[in-house]
Chains A and B, each alone.
Chain A
Amino acid sequence: MDPIQSLIKELAVKHGRKRESLLPVLQGVVEQERYLSEHSMIEIARELDLPAAEVYGTATFYSFLEHRKMGRFIIRICKTISCSMKGKNQVLLAIQDMLKISTGETTPDGRFSLVETNCLGLCHKAPAMLINEEVYTDLTPEKVREILSDYMKK
């Protein structure tokens, strides 16, 4: 059994094999792998006895269930109105400049992915972003450079 198969088995034991378990299982794989490969989606379908197309169709509906290979740290910067009014673009440029990637890309060393996302519910502390589950607010280009250099050491 490859590591993905055993991870999926484990998750199926933990959450059950009912249809209601699908999201928690998908989330569990994403937590480990940072994305859902075709292989893992097929394995999940097998394990939960669902058509693979159903698994794919459900997974791709949710923006946090990535189905492209992602970096170890996923940076999600909010592009909705309050953040955009408070200088989100400058922050985004600072990130792009530092990581040398554009939005939607992953650094060649596989460490960082950068995506834009919709309102994070932190509009009073705009601009805001998430790095994996961690919350960062009141961003400025300087602040984001500091945050990222810390991550680069990880």
Chain B
Amino acid sequence: MAESYHLLKRADFIFRNENDWEEILTKTIKRTPQDIINELISSELKGRGGAGFPTGLKWKITAEAKSAEKYVICNADEGEPGTFKDREILSRVPYKVLTAMAVCAHIIGSKKGIIYLRGEYHSLKEALEKTISEFEYYCKKIKLDFSIEVFMGSGAYICGEETALFESLEGHRGEPRNKPPYPTIKGYMDKPTVINNVETLAHTFTIFKYGAKKFYDLGVQFSRGTKLFSVSGDTPKPGIYELELGMSLQDFVNEFGDGDTKAVQVGGASGFLVPRKKFQETAIGYQGKLTGISLPTGGSMMIYNSSRSMFNVLDNYLEFFREESCGQCTPCRVGCQQLLIGIKAVKRGERPAQYLDKLLKLTETMQLTAKCGLGQSVANSFASIVENFREEMIY
């Protein structure tokens, strides 16, 4: 029987101030790599950036790859509209992320870590570098040969895509590469690389400290542990909340809505819009056998009340994608432009309402043929908005 979702439950691990990171680091690296990897695998932690790949497995594959040079990269290129959790982690508990990177390096056999920080977060750089130098000082003390560099992005959403991020680090335009090969085998500088989102790394700290069981016991089947949610839009409580995975969207709205919630965009502009009538059947977690629909999210939860025009929302998203498409492949480059032109033409009455169906077909093509997640995911928001709020697109 499928496990059902649970009520909304708050948690406090990520921002809990732990002043024993030195102890955790020393203790953890004394364990065998195999032992740590097993613990991560049994916690069932999945990547918190949105894609949801099992973290333990990622570390394991990279550890097993044969290469004298390997890298640990922290993806702090948080650009998904509506997401602002990584900024908070890096400013409030950066040492958790650094500790996790060092443990990972120790396991896979790497000496070098890089934090790719988005250009928009330049103001965090100085404090972060200060923390890093204290951290490196401690690493030297315990004879751990590991250094971390902060690399600044320069304003490009696509660089959050891991292979585009490597291109950017290597001094090129941030254009995604073909996959496979995957970063675990051929990543930064074509060397085996673990690349994890900021939040994912912070969760591994929780696991090192409290054990896999503690983490596994939170959340629901296929969606274990807690997750940070960035809540914005029409809410009396905008902000960042750590919640157990697996709650229903209805419970989420009861807690964070303003009483007049019409729809919630789960997962940012590249995610899905859920209309009111589907709140009850929608759960927040990774794909799995939850009852009803289960939506993954990198944490962005944008709430819209009934005063909002869904046409404007879609228009804003499409403009975002049109600007942020790297332009490398035609379905995405041209597709994003045509979608934007198309919905405007329908709105103005220059095209009949049936034209929306043509545009939906176009998003299907993009989903199938675009090279990376950006072009593929435009279909998510487009279809979920157009199908649920068709009349708002027309009149």
Query: Is A bound to B?
Result: yes
Residues of A within 8 A of B (CB): 18-24, 26-27, 57-58, 61-65, 79-82, 84-85, 117-126, 130, 133-135
With contact pairs A61-B156, A122-B84 given, residues A80 and B119 touching in the complex (Cβ less than 8 Å): no
17 A-B pairs (CB sep. < 8 Å): A19-B172, A20-B170, A22-B171, A23-B151, A23-B152, A26-B154, A58-B171, A81-B82, A85-B234, A119-B79, A121-B78, A122-B87, A123-B83, A124-B232, A124-B240, A126-B232, A133-B123
Contact of B119 among A24, A62, A81, A119 (CB under 8 A): A62
- A23 and B171 alpha carbons, distance in the complex (Å): 6
| Residue-wise interface mask of B (118-131) relative to A, using a CB-CB cutoff of 8 A (1 in contact, 0 not) | 11111100000000
Residues of B within 8 A of A (CB): 78-84, 86-87, 118-123, 151-157, 168-174, 230-234, 238-240, 269, 302, 308, 312-313, 316-317, 320, 323-324, 326
Contact of A23 among B121, B154, B308, B324 (CB under 8 A): B154
Q: State whether B155 touches A58 (Cβ < 8 A).
A: no
Residue of A nearest to B308 (CB): A85
Residue of A nearest to B168 (CB): A23
With contact pairs A58-B172, A121-B79 given, residues A82 and B120 touching in the complex (Cβ less than 8 Å): no
A-B contact count (CB 8 A): 116
Identify which of A22, A80, A84 gathers the most chain B CB atoms within 10 Å of its CB: A80
Q: State whether A124 touches B170 (Cβ < 8 A).
A: no
- A93 and B168 alpha carbons, distance in the complex (Å): 35
Q: State whether B156 touches A62 (Cβ < 8 A).
A: yes
Q: State whether A123 touches B316 (Cβ < 8 A).
A: no
Contact of A61 among B81, B174, B302 (CB under 8 A): B174
Q: State whether B123 touches A81 (Cβ < 8 A).
A: no
Q: State whether B171 touches A21 (Cβ < 8 A).
A: yes
Q: State whether B170 touches A19 (Cβ < 8 A).
A: yes
Contacts of A120 in B (CB 8 A): 120
Q: State whether A124 touches B230 (Cβ < 8 A).
A: yes
With contact pairs A64-B155, A81-B317, A84-B316 given, residues A123 and B230 touching in the complex (Cβ less than 8 Å): yes
- A120 and B156 alpha carbons, distance in the complex (Å): 11
Residue of B nearest to A81 (CB): B316
Identify which of B173, B230, B234, B313 gathers the most chain A CB atoms within 10 Å of its CB: B173
Contacts of B230 in A (CB 8 A): 123-124
Contacts of A135 in B (CB 8 A): 123
Q: State whether B320 touches A80 (Cβ < 8 A).
A: yes
Q: State whether B120 touches A121 (Cβ < 8 A).
A: yes
Q: State whether A124 touches B234 (Cβ < 8 A).
A: no
Closest beta carbon of chain A to B198's beta carbon, Å: 12
Q: State whether A82 touches B123 (Cβ < 8 A).
A: no
Q: State whether A62 touches B123 (Cβ < 8 A).
A: no
Q: State whether B84 touches A121 (Cβ < 8 A).
A: yes
Closest beta carbon of chain A to B360's beta carbon, Å: 21
Q: State whether A124 touches B316 (Cβ < 8 A).
A: no
Contacts of A118 in B (CB 8 A): 79, 81, 157, 320, 323-324
